[in-house]
């Protein structure tokens, strides 16, 4: 079975003291709530990718970015094993929201308890990441060199 490695960036966005998420319009995970993010382009750093993705999907700018950790996510199908390295950032965002309607809609939660009530509507890995963030349990599980060697 073929293995495919990818770098993906995800963001826990704080905007005006509230959490900002993305309601997806496309598969996979259509009509589910998730973290804003996407694939890292070939000649791009993860920092550059998260700034680009946040702006593309929300219209917001990043005042402060902090890499919280890296999560390894495996996806299996009949043809391949897809191994995603999810670089999770905490973003302090500002500006005016300008949704990219073809990607999805912005969902804002003022409190963590409201997020917990909507757990069933979340992409499972994204909810897991948010829970780990709340408990300060995100961390690096491999060195950046090891990740880059596997992907390149």
Structure tokens at 22: 């993305």
State whether residue 95 is helix, strand or coil. coil
State whether residue 101 is helix, strand or coil. coil
Q: Which helix (H) or strand (E) holds 81?
A: strand 80-94
State whether residue 114 is helix, strand or coil. helix
Residue 146 known to be catalytic: no
CA distance 86 to 84: 6
Contacting residues for 150 by C-beta, under 8 A, at least 6 apart: 5, 83
Contacting residues for 65 by C-beta, under 8 A, at least 6 apart: 47, 50, 51, 89, 90, 91, 92
Catalytic residue among 41, 48, 114, 142: 114
Q: Which residues pair with 104 in a beta bridge?
A: 24
Which residues are catalytic, by number?
114
């Amino acid at each position: 079975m073929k293995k495919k490695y990818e770098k993906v960036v995800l963001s826990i966005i704080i905007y005006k003291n509230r959490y900002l998420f993305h309601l997806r319009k496309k598969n996979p995970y259509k009509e589910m709530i998730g973290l804003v993010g996407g694939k890292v382009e070939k000649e791009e750093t993860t920092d550059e990718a998260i700034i680009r993705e946040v702006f593309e999907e929300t219209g917001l700018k990043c005042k402060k970015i902090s890499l919280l950790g890296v999560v390894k996510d495996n996806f299996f199908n009949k043809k391949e094993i897809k191994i995603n390295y999810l670089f999770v950032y905490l973003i302090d965002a500002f500006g005016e929201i300008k949704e990219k309607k073809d990607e999805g809609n912005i969902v804002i939660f003022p409190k963590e308890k409201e997020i917990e009530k909507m757990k069933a509507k979340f992409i499972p890995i994204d909810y897991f990441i948010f829970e780990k963030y709340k408990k300060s349990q995100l961390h690096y599980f491999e060195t950046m060199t090891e990740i880059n060697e596997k992907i390149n």
